């Protein structure tokens, strides 16, 4: 993809080109990770408010018309949504789209990996915080580690690549397992990313933070990995590479070293609400506008107006209680 922005490109007030859209196809999940959803949470969006697939496809198509080249399907757990493979195929066929990926917890991946690849999904992010079965059950509330591992093997077998393992590191919970997680990733050609807990909702704020930058540097040094120069494709992560230049380990540090200056993304929730920043409350009700009969020109104008009001950065450090919604409500 060229670095030069097309005339229709979305440029925010701080000169950042917004070319990446994350689309939450459901806020439901079959796991209950302690840092994501509180135990017994029932405040999910009503199914009647979910965008139908044709409505999602229409909105995504408008973003692509405005220069968005990368789309990621997320949740909750996107593979819970019926017809998500057909939705993926429709999005992958949009003229101008360069990349379609999917984030998943992996519990249903084994049965759907081949269909996702055939639909046009090329890359995966799989949430996996530990290889310890007991620890996995404590974090997620379910004994599903074997299903996730089977999903990873199925995805690798059908050629989905790269496959990134997203490990949210929590002190005194799973920090002990990072060495084993890295060895697991290296032997299977996965990319491990260590992530700080997002302080969203009470669950995120209560988790014990770990300095993943220092942790990543130690792990990389012990395995002969070298730091790489940040590039546009790196997104919010910083990486270490092997001798062949392949990224093998990364860290994502929204708190200790925020990456707001290079933010290129916005998020669309299952009801069509456009969130302009993960750590702010600015939003555009595109789904409500669509269902009220807005035409494409009106929706395009609303998208442009939203991007023109995109905040400069989050306030997770200075105002940790500002965002009360949980991560699953916004989309990963």
Residue 5 lies in a domain: no
Total domains, the chain: 1
pTM over 0.85: yes
Tokens found for residue 107: 């519990």
What's the pLDDT at 74?
97
Comparing 118-132, 298-312, 316-330, the range with the smallest average pLDDT is 316-330
- pLDDT tens digits for range 236-247: 789 999 999 999
Domain span including residue 63? 20-330
In 3-state terms, what secondary structure has residue 202?
helix
Q: CA 155, CA 163: separation in Å to the nearest integer?
A: 8
CATH at residue 297 = 3.20.20.70
Residue 9 lies in a domain: no
What's the pLDDT at 258?
61
What's the pLDDT at 204?
45
Run of H or E residues at 178: helix 178-188
Residue 10 lies in a domain: no
Contact 281, 323 (CB under 8 A): yes
Residue 313: pLDDT band by 50, 70, 90 thresholds?
confident
Statement: residue 2 has pLDDT above 50: no
Residue 15 lies in a domain: no
Q: CA 41, CA 38: separation in Å to the nearest integer?
A: 5
- pLDDT tens digits for range 126-157: 999 999 999 999 999 999 999 999 999 999 99
Contact 26, 78 (CB under 8 A): yes
Higher local confidence (pLDDT), 67 or 318: 67
Residue 58 lies in a domain: yes
HSE (CB half, 13 Å, CA atoms) of 282?
Answer: 18
Q: What is the largest CA-CA distance in the chain?
A: 58
What's the pLDDT at 153?
98
- pLDDT tens digits for range 27-75: 999 999 988 887 777 888 999 999 999 999 999 999 999 999 999 999 9
What's the pLDDT at 31?
94
Phi, psi of 318 (to 5 degrees): -85, -30
What's the pLDDT at 332?
59
User: Which residue do the tokens 């139908």 mark?
Assistant: 52
Residue 68 lies in a domain: yes
Q: CA 326, CA 200: separation in Å to the nearest integer?
A: 5
Residue 12 lies in a domain: no
Residue 234: pLDDT band by 50, 70, 90 thresholds?
low
Run of H or E residues at 303: helix 296-308
User: Which residue do the tokens 């949210």 mark?
Assistant: 168
What's the pLDDT at 207?
58
Q: In terms of C-beta density within 10 A (0-12 exposed, 13-18 middle, 19 or more buried), how is residue 9 classed? A: middle
How do the residues of the chain divide into helix, strand and coil, expressed in percent and rounded to 5?
35, 15, 45
What's the pLDDT at 141?
95
What's the pLDDT at 118?
98
Residue 8 lies in a domain: no
Q: At what angle do helices 145-157 and 133-140 cross, to 10 degrees?
A: 100
């Amino acid at each position: 993809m060229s670095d030069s922005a097309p005339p229709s490109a979305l440029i925010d007030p701080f000169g950042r080109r917004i070319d990446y859209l994350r689309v939450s196809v459901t806020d439901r999940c079959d796991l209950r990770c302690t840092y994501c959803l509180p135990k017994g949470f029932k405040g999910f969006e009503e199914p009647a408010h979910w965008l139908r697939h044709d409505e999602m496809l229409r909105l995504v198509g408008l973003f692509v018309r405005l220069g968005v080249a990368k789309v990621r399907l997320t949740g909750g757990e996107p593979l819970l949504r019926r017809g998500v493979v057909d939705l993926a195929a429709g999005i992958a066929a949009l003229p101008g789209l360069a990349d379609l990926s999917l984030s998943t917890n992996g519990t249903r991946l084994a049965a759907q990996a081949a269909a996702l690849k055939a639909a046009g999904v090329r890359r995966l992010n799989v949430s996996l915080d530990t290889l310890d079965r007991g620890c996995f059950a404590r974090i997620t509330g379910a004994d599903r580690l074997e299903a996730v591992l089977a999903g990873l093997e199925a995805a690798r077998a059908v050629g989905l690549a790269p496959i990134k393992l997203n490990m949210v590191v929590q002190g005194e919970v799973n920090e002990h397992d990072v060495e084993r997680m890295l060895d697991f990733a290296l032997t299977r050609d996965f990319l491990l990313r260590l992530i700080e807990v997002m302080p969203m909702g009470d669950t995120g704020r209560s988790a014990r933070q770990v300095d993943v930058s220092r942790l990543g540097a130690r792990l990389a040094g012990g395995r002969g990995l070298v730091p790489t120069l940040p590039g546009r494709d790196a997104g919010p992560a910083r990486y270490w590479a092997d001798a062949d230049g392949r990224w093998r380990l990364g860290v994502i540090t929204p708190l200790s070293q925020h990456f707001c200056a290079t933010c290129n993304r916005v998020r669309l929730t299952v009801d069509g609400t456009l969130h302009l920043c993960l750590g702010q409350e600015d939003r555009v009700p595109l789904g409500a506008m669509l269902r009220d009969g807005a035409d494409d020109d009106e929706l395009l104008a609303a998208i442009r107006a939203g991007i023109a009001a995109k905040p400069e950065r989050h306030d997770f450090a200075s105002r940790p209680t500002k965002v009360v919604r949980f991560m699953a409500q916004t989309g990963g």
